[in-house]
Amino acid sequence: MSLGFLKMNGLGNDFVVVQGVHDFQPTTEQVRAWGSRDGGVGFDQLIAISNDGGQSPLVRFWNNDGEQVGACGNGSRCVGWLLMQASGKGEAVFHTAERVLMAASAGENRVAVDMGEPGLKWNEIPLSEDMDTRNIELQIGPIDHPRLHTPGAVSMGNPHVVFFVDHEPTDAEVTGDGSLIEHHPLFPQAVNVGFAHILATDRIRLRVWERGAGLTKACGTGACAALVAAARRGLTGRKAMMTLDGGELEIDWRDDNHVIMTGPVAVEFSGTMP
């Protein structure tokens, strides 16, 4: 049986979306083969939308290395858009393994998703030991002059660590240091690594090394985590525009502790898996 899909992206962070397939359980090898940009379809994440008998659709995510993960912000906007297109309504509700998410139309091909409350306790990230997640005890480079140090840690349904830098993060920094930190022993489930340059109290330049996917054009949960980490340190307010390689996301950490992410979605093409 051929497997149909829809190729979508949010700010260039690209996805293959499979809908309505009962008991969809791809192997690690299948996901890697489909995700390959040399012979496969090519994607950052694979997304499956199905009904598990609950009141809202179940959404699952896999990184292109084959690992199933709990959350994907840009992918969640794409899911919300698809569900709203199918229902003809301006809102949609769906759930992941971690939380219930609500999406709403924010204009033509723009979607706002309530990403829920950030996890801020050390065991919610999770970290391997108890420490203040505003400034965790981690540094990269010489002890007396580290390149990176004391990042913030936030969970958005998946683990993030955010370093604040005083310059535009380079490819070499993001790929070199990001890949090094991803599997640091402090993070038992590995971690997404953000490099945030504060441009103003309402604007952040962000690049992210994504756990299991590498350097992508945008990371929605990473943008949410960076805004929360910056606001906790008083570097920004609770609402900011995030400038990523693929474009801009508006992030609002509301007073009710929910994080709202707003940005564009795009449909590229449909097809069947090779």
End-to-end CA distance of the chain: 11
**Active-site residue among 6, 11, 16, 72?**
72
Expressed in percent and rounded to 5, the helix, strand and coil fractions of the chain are 20, 40, 45
- Give dist(CA 219, CA 224) in Å, integer: 9
The residue written with tokens 């958005």 in the block is 156
**Active-site residue among 219, 228, 240, 249?**
219
List all residues 6 or more positions away from 3 whose beta carbon is below 8 Å from its beta carbon.
18, 21, 272, 273
219 is catalytic: yes
224 is catalytic: no
Helices (DSSP H) in 28-104: which residue ranges? 28-35, 73-87
Helical pair 220-232 and 73-87, crossing angle rounded to 10 deg: 120
Q: Report the catalytic residues.
A: 72, 219
